[in-house]
Chain A
């Protein structure tokens, strides 16, 4: 099934219970090509869920158009759009067992029972829940519920699958593992998908392209590596985790940092420095003072004040350290050099 989603000049209003109206989506354009997985990345309240709900047909568009394969979807109710939607908390049907949940969409399409059972089994295999068919959904763990929800949304072969923060209710380890599994399931089924998240790692793990959204508008749409290496604006760079910005004025600090920019074509006036940008090197061109140090998962994290740059997080390997007493003390001086490809040029 082929088709492309096109969103043109879309406006979605958000009505609060007290009747006040806010603009959730503000004259936004977006394209999703067949078979592509696009992540909508943005802070909470940026309007990404409203955009998703408008595409699903659950929220009316105040202005603009949403088309599928060139056909305007205005006035097409949610149940006739042929899109799938996966919620943050699954929203499984409590009165149906696992198989009953997965088969729901097929039942709505009046697929014959035998075919339904076969497809259900196939999907449960795909999400690693073979043998769970007759379990009550109330007995499932959070991760299992989300797998069932994924299988349920994939079962009717949606033309487009919309995922609304499907993993954010789960703990970190599970989230990371499931993000990869979701990617695999989407690729294996060739599903076109729009994936809403506020978690960068999730977006980078799942998507072919990432659309960064803020205040109802798209700031940048790009592939993960290009987004990481060339954020379009300082706001995008900040949202991605870049901490300090240095004007590319030809000075010594700027020249030293520019060595860390991958594929540097020059031109953009701002260099962005983040946690993965600098490393300790005795002959490094940059000078820094340690402000604080602490252990993280597998690494030591230092907050350092880099001369001419500002406060930046440094990540070092834990190996060789015996304990908290062995960490660099605040006030210690360090020399740093940029990591190849670790510095971004903004603009």
Chain B
């Protein structure tokens, strides 16, 4: 009766151990581990060790010395204060945004969501320059006197991280069952009461998860602080940079790196904890989102609040710096015009390259960095999404998931400088990797990997194990399950992952500032060199270069979103 003969189960092996499969998974795990081992762990450990290793002996006196300096405590205080305030403000402003963009619907919502996401992928140096154009000199908000102050830096950090809160909390909120709030209403709670006593507590894991990530970004911010903070304003991250590049005090830098690692690990632990709770809490409810109600009998106070706050944030916090940057880039000494853009053609004295050349370098490096980051992060996400049967393997998978997040919090400056000093003779080999043109893309990939993993992993994790089983029972080998079940789903997030990696690479400044060759700077490095020089012309050119860099990033992200849109329909 059957047209199809079943293959006899021939090459069956007794027991569950299949060497071929084990080897394949081993290889898939070895590649990212080796990559991160050589280009992240080795440099960071090497740098830190160098600070504590004097004359062939372990010397921890540096700790006591550095930690007894009042300056160190001031720096730590500023870092924690800046991160705490920045996170708090971002959450307070972001939650109404999450409601507006994810719990209501209105025309142009998609566009607004995209717009809000732009700051996150903007290069930090550009954000710094944009805020200076608003707060400094004759900027529109110069009267606040925030230029070079704590408040100015915090404003820029909120600008940068607002979208993290909106997206994380919004996605979480969209998955909450609205009937809980409706039940509270039916039991007699006012809308405000229902929000405070039911919805907000339910949102807590999402908010905690967003807050810990934002805290992490704020605590390790580099470019923004360096450009905006001015003289005498330092965080742990910039201080590591100052100590290594200006004072050549590796001991102090090593101590500060350890301090930062402790802060980062704590924040990551909180984030991981919140994420687990979130994955438990999430029960998807496919319910139609109500339309935005601002006027008429259906008007909701909550919607009005959300629209008001979000409108103000978008106009003042997000819009003003970007607009100001563009306007100032068009302003030259001789009045309005494209003079600053024309100057991108010129190689200024001591700059190493023209604006266009730097842009080309940036793009070239970004292509390589993206390729590396997507391959490494893809393998990590693939492994971390598996649910092995034995407890030991499950723990190993969990550990891998946690370890690849570390580059997110370890100072990019540490990574860059560490690579510079440890890879001249790695493992005693007579091989100077520092001369390799691949070093810069590799360092940028290290920075991008955690973000790419975080983009792809949730998508892979959301695939029901039984879907794999269904495919297996229908005759798909483990490889073909990957090919026909996981890949089509993961491919949809791949566009975004590629875009994100590209944007991170384009804007990377911390590690890049150490590893870039002086004669061929990337665009962020060129911008930093330009604003470090006196003269309105240089500042104008920096503005134009910043607009160029922001434009490049925006184009890349828009293409990435399109790539995602064409890959099949929504799940």
Contact = CB atoms under 8 A, between A and B. Distances in A.
A46 to B, nearest CB: 20
A111 B473 contact: no
B295 interface: no
A342 B495 CA distance: 66
B197 to A, nearest CB: 32
Interface in B432-488: 464, 466-467, 469-478, 480, 484-485, 488
Interface string A110-139: 010001000000000000000000001010
A195 interface: no
A111 B5 CA distance: 11
A58 B472 contact: yes
B470 A79 contact: no
A204 interface: no
A75 B9 CA distance: 10
Contacts of A1: 1-2, 6
A129 B7 CA distance: 30
Given A94-B571, A108-B475, A136-B569, A156 B470 contact: no
Interface stretch (A24-32, A36-44, A84-92): A84-92
B13 A56 contact: no
Contacts of B6: 1, 82, 159
Given A1-B6, A87-B466, A136-B569, A56 B489 contact: no
Nearest to B21: A77
B185 to A, nearest CB: 28
Given A60-B16, A95-B489, A157-B4, A84 B389 contact: no
Interface in B387-421: 389, 391
A58 B465 CA distance: 11
A76 B9 contact: yes
B2 A105 contact: no
Contacts of A152: 474
Contact of A104 (B2, B14, B471, B569): B471
B535 interface: no
Given A1-B6, A91-B464, A108-B480, A79 B472 contact: yes
Interface string B73-107: 00000000000000000000000000000000000
A156 B474 CA distance: 7
B487 to A, nearest CB: 10
Contacts of A74: 12, 14-15
Contact of B474 (A95, A105, A115): A105
A253 interface: no
Contacts of A111: 4
Contact of A80 (B1, B7, B471, B485): B7
Interface in B254-288: none
A81 B484 CA distance: 19
A93 interface: yes
B384 to A, nearest CB: 17
Contacts of A107: 484
A105 B472 CA distance: 9
A117 B571 CA distance: 25
A75 B12 contact: yes
A78 interface: yes
Nearest to B570: A138
Interface in B10-60: 12-16, 18
B3 interface: yes
B473 A85 contact: yes
A105 B475 contact: yes
A56 B488 contact: no
A89 B472 CA distance: 17
Given A76-B12, A80-B12, A157 B2 contact: yes
A79 B473 contact: yes
B297 interface: no
A101 B3 CA distance: 20
A71 interface: yes
B568 interface: yes
A19 interface: yes
B467 A91 contact: yes
Best-buried of A73, A91, A152 by chain B (most CB within 10 Å) = A91
Contacts of A157: 1-4
B473 A56 contact: yes
Nearest to B485: A93
A60 B18 CA distance: 14
A123 to B, nearest CB: 13
| Residue from B1, B464, B470 having most chain A Cβ neighbours under 10 A | B470
Contacts of B571: 94-95, 138
A152 to B, nearest CB: 7
Nearest to A111: B4
A108 to B, nearest CB: 4
Contact of A108 (B2, B3, B12, B476): B476
Contact of A15 (B15, B18, B389): B389
Contacts of B2: 1, 157
B438 to A, nearest CB: 35
Contact of A58 (B3, B15, B469, B475): B469
A93 B467 contact: yes
A109 interface: yes
A73 B470 CA distance: 19
Nearest to B286: A138
A104 B474 contact: yes
A197 interface: no
Contact of A75 (B14, B471, B476, B488): B14
A144 B476 CA distance: 24
A144 B445 CA distance: 46
A35 to B, nearest CB: 11
Contacts of A228: none
Contacts of B484: 93, 104, 107
Contact of B568 (A95, A153, A156): A95
Interface of B: 1-4, 6-7, 9, 12-16, 18, 389, 391, 464, 466-467, 469-478, 480, 484-485, 488-489, 568-571
13 contacts: A56-B469, A56-B473, A57-B472, A79-B480, A80-B475, A81-B9, A87-B470, A93-B484, A95-B569, A138-B571, A153-B474, A157-B2, A190-B1
List of 3 A-B pairs having minimum Cβ-Cβ separation, nearest first: A105-B474, A108-B475, A82-B6
Given A104-B474, A159-B6, 10 more contacts: A1-B1, A1-B2, A60-B16, A75-B13, A75-B16, A76-B9, A77-B18, A82-B475, A85-B469, A105-B475
